[in-house]
Amino acid sequence: MSDPDGAADPSSPPLPPSPSPVPRPAPVEWPEDGVLTRDWVAAFTATLDWCSRNLPPDQIPSVLSADFVRRLLLAAAVILHREPNIVRVDPRPDQAVVVVGDVHGQLHDVIFLLRDAGFPSEERIFVFNGDYVDRGAWGLETLLLLLAWKISLPNRVFLLRGNHESKYCTSVYGFEREVMVKYKGQGSQVYRKFLRCFEDLPLASIIAGCVYTAHGGIFRGAVVLPSKRAKRAKKGHRHVLSSTDDPITLKLGSLDELLKARRTVLDPPWEGSNLIPGDVLWSDPSMDKGLSLNKERGIGLLWGPDITQQFLYTNNLKIT
């Protein structure tokens, strides 16, 4: 209430102040010493959040320059490249491990999740199971944020590869177009740097020595193809294929074979001898017993509950 002269009633509670607009953040700069501290990552998170809510996509480079993005991707790739195909996460009794599935460019969900579960720290380890990009509008920002955490705490944040971290999926499901819209003339260069980083992502993890995680799942044994020399029939003789010559013979793979597989491929092959990466990223569980080709996807396998039990028993695991 107010009096006829317009003076505020002193008994009324004061009105809340008008919210002041959040100022536009300055362009993000790479630290001079190259060290991404927790405070730096927190400020980076706030900047990404602001940009996603206030900037049109084609203005992102005014805050996240292409040069900055390349430096962050290179720093992350150096760390990821040194990690094996299977990263072993061995928490202490007082450490929690948080496993996160597909986030697909949902930056605000990732920020909420990190705050709600508790940020990566000496007490909390995160394992992300891939599919950081495509479908959502902020795949670039989402992956940059997670890579920043990886650089900051390389032994507390583990990033595995998903099937969408590939040239094929990102060209079909949106990430390539997202980068091109945001970085225009520099988009192709930025996109190639992301593809190069994808190749360095590990394929699987084993947590506490008993939990296996991967984006897809179980994989076949290494395929041994006959050499060209073996294929050539001797004069007067016909070469007869053996079971080891048959490239589609399916047997359960070993962790040692997974460790030795070549993961630095833009698109995991669906034929040839290097099939393990495609299996790990694209395979699906099935109610039917045994191993079979995943004909619906055209890559990877279907595996039944008996194969799950065999895999767990063979590798002394409890959960997959």
Give the β-pairing of 86-89 and 301-303: unpaired
CA 254 – CA 261 distance, rounded (Å): 11
CA 76 – CA 34 distance, rounded (Å): 11
- Point out the residues that are catalytic: 164
SS (H, E, C) 60-128: HHHCCCHHHHHHHHHHHHHHHHHCCCEEEECCCCCCEEEEECCCCCCHHHHHHHHHHHCCCECCEEEEE
Q: How far is CA 189 from the centre of its chain?
A: 20
Task: Give me 105's structure tokens.
Answer: 């460019």
CA 158 – CA 156 distance, rounded (Å): 7
CB 286 within 8 A of CB 302: yes
CA 295 – CA 78 distance, rounded (Å): 36
